[in-house]
Every structure is written in C-alpha cells, then in structure tokens.
C-alpha cells in the first residue's frame, strides 16, 4: 500500500513517515505542494492515498487536491491542517478531499482514517481480483480456485483479499493486524499464522499450489 505524504514541518514529517512505514505503508515524503502535485499526476506513480498538509509552501494542499481532481485523479486525499473552522473543512472537502484531520491528532486516528479510505476505495474500485486461477470477489465475498468455490471465514477472506489486492508485494504482519483486526491484537500473537495456515489448507493444498509465501521477518506475499 503506497502513500504520498506532503508535510513541510520536517520533524512532524519524520514522525509520520516512520509511523506509516511501521504500519506497513510504502511511504514517499515531500515537503512542498509542487512536488506533491507532480508526483500525483495521472502519468506518475500510482498511490493508494495522498496525505496533504494544508499549509504547504508553493501550492497549498487544498490547491494541490483541487488541481488533481480537475485532471481526473481519483486517489483518496486526506488533508492535515491546524485550521479547524467549519468553513475551512468545507473548503477542503469542496476541493475534492475525502477526509480532513485537524492538528494536533493522535497517530492511531491517522492510521484508522487511512485504513478506512483505503478499504473504501479498494472495494469500490476493484470488486474482484484474479491472480492466476484464484479469484477473490469482494462484492459477493466469494473465492474461487478455477471453477471450484472455496469457503473461507470472514477474517480468512479479509486476509486473502488484502494479499490478493497487493499480489506480488509483501504485506507486513502489522498491516494485516491493522486492516483485519483494527489493531485489536498484537504482533506477539500467533493469530495471523493460524489464519494464514487455514487459508493455505483451503486455497492451496487441495489444488497442489503454494501461492502464499512467508517472507521471514517481513510478512506474507501472494505470488503472481
């Protein structure tokens, strides 16, 4: 999951970059509006979410959002700002921002808002994912291996959907806990291993495949 962070407060930018990276996000950080705008253009790097501070030098975050929306960029935008007036929130949302987080804010709330934005767009923009003969249908919440339907529990499905949506990339254990359990358990628990083992028993073993790879010390990857 890739996020572009635009924050001109260097100390805060460093804290946010480390927090997002530890949560499993692939973070690119810039410190001015023009750099953010150029990186988020339609022919640029595809991001899952843009996090824009309002008071960026050059172009402010709301103007960056406004210009990107005019070009048809639909990437979710979260605006960070110390401006807390209702009229400011309205201006940001009218410019095309999807969410608005006033400073100071709790880092856990930031992560929760990003998870919500990512889930919302992932399910809306991509209702199913096919990786080889494996198909994961988010709308119907069904999984097929070829023509055979595979029954999964709710959390097994959510883990597989997360892996399939990021096929070919490592999804960290932290990211799985964050997305599937909303951080309600911890990394010392073996709950992820138990669920991944169950997915393998159902999705891989009966079909003679080994599509889910454990990347030691990092997480899991669904092979393309």
Pairs from 132-135 (Cβ < 8 Å, separation ≥ 24): 132/211, 132/224, 134/164, 134/203, 134/211
Residue count of the chain: 224
Coil, strand or helix at 36: helix
Per-residue pLDDT of the chain (224 residues; tens, 9 = 90+): 789 999 999 999 999 999 999 988 899 999 999 999 999 998 878 888 999 999 899 899 999 999 999 898 888 899 998 876 677 777 877 888 888 888 888 898 899 888 878 766 655 556 788 999 999 988 788 999 999 999 988 889 989 999 998 888 888 888 888 778 766 666 566 888 899 999 999 999 999 999 999 998 889 999 98
pLDDT of amino acid 13: 94
Q: Hey, what domains does the chain have and what are their CATH numbers? A: 2-119 (3.40.50.2300), 128-222 (1.10.10.10)
Other CB atoms within a 10 A radius of the CB of residue 130 amount to 12
Other beta carbons less than 10 A from residue 222's beta carbon = 26
Name every residue whose Cβ is closer than 8 Å to that of residue 198 and which is 6 or more positions away in sequence: 153, 156
Q: What are the distances in angstroms from CA 101 to CA 84, 106, 127?
A: 9, 10, 28
Q: Name, in order, each residue with C-beta under 8 angstroms of 187's C-beta and a sequence gap of 6 or more.
A: 173, 174, 177
């Amino acid at each position: 999951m890739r996020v572009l962070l635009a924050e001109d407060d260097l100390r805060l930018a460093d804290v946010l970059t480390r927090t997002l990276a530890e949560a499993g996000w692939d973070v690119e950080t810039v410190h001015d509006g023009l750099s953010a705008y150029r990186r988020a253009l339609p022919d640029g790097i595809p991001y899952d979410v843009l996090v824009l501070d309002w008071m960026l030098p050059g172009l402010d975050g709301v103007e960056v959002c406004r210009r990107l929306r005019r070009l048809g960029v639909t990437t979710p935008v979260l605006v960070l700002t110390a401006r807390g007036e209702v009229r400011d929130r309205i201006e940001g949302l009218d410019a095309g921002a999807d969410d608005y987080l006033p400073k100071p804010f709790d880092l856990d709330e930031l992560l929760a808002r990003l998870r919500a934005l990512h889930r919302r767009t992932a399910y809306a923009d991509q209702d199913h994912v096919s990786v080889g003969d494996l198909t994961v249908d988010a709308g119907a919440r069904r999984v097929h291996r070829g023509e055979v339907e595979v029954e999964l529990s709710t959390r097994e499905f959510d883990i597989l959907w997360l892996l399939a949506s990021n096929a070919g990339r490592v999804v960290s254990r932290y990211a799985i806990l964050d997305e599937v359990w909303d951080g309600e358990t911890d990394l010392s628990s073996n709950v992820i291993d138990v669920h991944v083992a169950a997915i393998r028993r159902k999705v891989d073993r009966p079909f003679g495949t080994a599509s889910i790879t454990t990347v030691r010390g990092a997480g899991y990857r669904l092979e393309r």
